[in-house]
Structures are given as C-alpha cells and as structure tokens.
Structure 1
Amino acid sequence: MEEGKIEEILRIGSSRDHAKKERRVRSSFFATVRRALRHVPFMEDVVASYYCAIDPDTPASTRGVLIAALAYFVLPMDLVPDMLLGIGFTDDIAVLLAAFNAVRGNIRPEHYQRARSALDDL
C-alpha cells in the first residue's frame, strides 16, 4: 500500500468525523478481531492500541491516529475487502502498523494487560 494512501487514512479529521469513527470502532472492533485473529500476526498490539485509543488519559492526537486506523480495520469493504481469503487484511495490516509505529510510546503496559485478557477471553 502506498504511503500517501496510508497518510490519508490516518488523517484525524474533524471532531464529528472522529466521533463517527469512534462509534464504529467501539461497536464492531471485537467482531473484526475474531475474524482477523489468524491473519494479523500482531493482534495483541492491535487490541492494546484499541485500549489506548479509548483511554481518556491518552493524548488526543494519539487517540485520533489510532481511531482512524482502527476504523479502517473494522470497515469490511476497504481497498482490499476483508472477505478475500488470505489477502483481505493486508491493507489493514499496513495501516495498523503505520499507526502503531507512530504512537508506540503512548501504548502503556496496562493497555497490553487488557489486550491479553481480552484475547484470552476470545
């Protein structure tokens, strides 16, 4: 996936856009995680990113980047539809890695603890 497209996807946008994306993420994140578990090799980081994004103590800019990436992740019809076996999550992986690498320092140990617990429950 080209870098310009990833930057466009991760653009934070207006507060209205952010709120819409956050609602989408909160409502369908774990259903998407269940479908993607075998396809995304760093799922613990993805789930920790979710907990970081919904943590009110996380800086707003970090929350914005993560919500944008996670909204792309939960959207079933994106550049490469998630339903395509084997390759459906490749574009999601690129976007998630870019977001994760941009905000890695804000994802705290407690986010990882919650991620491990959530993944154990799945």
Structure 2
Amino acid sequence: MSEPFIKPFTKAEMDAMRATTRDEEGLKRRFWDKLRRVAGRIPFAEDLVAAFYCATDPKTPSRVKLILLGAIAYFVLPLDAVSDLLPLLGFADDAAVLAAAISQVASSITEEHRAMAREALGEAVSKAG
C-alpha cells in the first residue's frame, strides 16, 4: 500500500515551527488565543484540542508529542498554505496537517484527552461569545 502524497513544508514553515515549538508557553498561549477566535468555525476543533492535551500530557511518548506539536504549531502560525481568512477553504490545510498527524498517533489520544477537549471547547466558546 503506497503512502498518500503530502506536500512537504517549505523552509520558512519548518523554521517557524521549530521556533514556535521551542517556546512551549508561547505556543500554548497562541493556541488558546487562536482557538477562542475560531472554535465555532472549525469542524475539527475537538480533535485539535484533544491533540493539544495529548501533546502536553507527561505520559505521552516524545515521538507522539513532536508530531502533535508540529501540527499544533502549524495551526497557530501566521504562515499558512491557505489563508485562514478564506471562507470554507481557510482551515483546510490546518485540518489536513492535523489529520495526517493524528493518523500517525491516534492510539495515544485517549478518551480522557477527548473529554478534556470537550470541556475546554465549551469554555472557549462561551468566553468568545
């Protein structure tokens, strides 16, 4: 079975992700700020937040954390293959990157991570509204 084609990141995207993931507190802050702004417009919000909780869980293996933090960094970065301001298409690239990351580490995202995500999304949406 062949692997599906996934567009490689540009050098600028890779440099930005490295810088973003080195500053974990900054990444967390930017993640929650952006999520509050867009949570109601993205259908993959629960998966994204569950991935965040998995990536920040001390029990999660380093390899899994790295994969998920890369996808989360792509979500928060202002550099995007498709601008988040475009209706319908704006978050398509973010969803694709997240889906690719989750497909690699799905067994590490627990029901506990998902429950925390549902709770956090309820709070984020109520604060944004």
Range into which the TM-score falls when normalised by the shorter chain: 0.7 to 0.9
Candidates 106, 118, 121, aligned match of 1:119:
121
Q: Is the 8 A contact 1:47 1:115 kept in 2?
A: yes
Q: Is the 8 A contact 2:50 2:109 kept in 1?
A: yes
Deviations 1:8-31 (A, max 9, x none): 979xx97x77423x3442121122
Candidates 87, 110, 113, aligned match of 2:112:
110
Residue in 2 aligned with 1:31? 33
Q: Is the 8 A contact 2:84 2:91 kept in 1?
A: yes
Residue in 1 aligned with 2:22? 19
Amino acid at match of 2:56: I
Candidates 44, 47, 59, aligned match of 2:46:
44
1:80 has 2:63 as partner: no
Q: What's the Cα RMSD here?
A: 2.5
CA distance in 2, matches of 1:91, 1:102: 17
Q: Is the 8 A contact 1:76 1:83 kept in 2?
A: no
Deviations 1:17-50 (A, max 9, x none): 7423x34421211222233324421211110100
How many percent of aligned residue pairs carry the same amino acid? 40
Candidates 75, 95, 98, aligned match of 2:97:
95
Larger Rg: 2
TM-score, normalised to structure 2, is: 0.76
Q: Is the 8 A contact 2:31 2:76 kept in 1?
A: yes
Distance of aligned partners of 1:101 and 1:61 in 2 relative to their CA distance in 1, 3 Å threshold: same
Amino acid at match of 2:57: D
Moved over 3 A (4+): none
Residue in 1 aligned with 2:57? 55
Aligned residues: 116
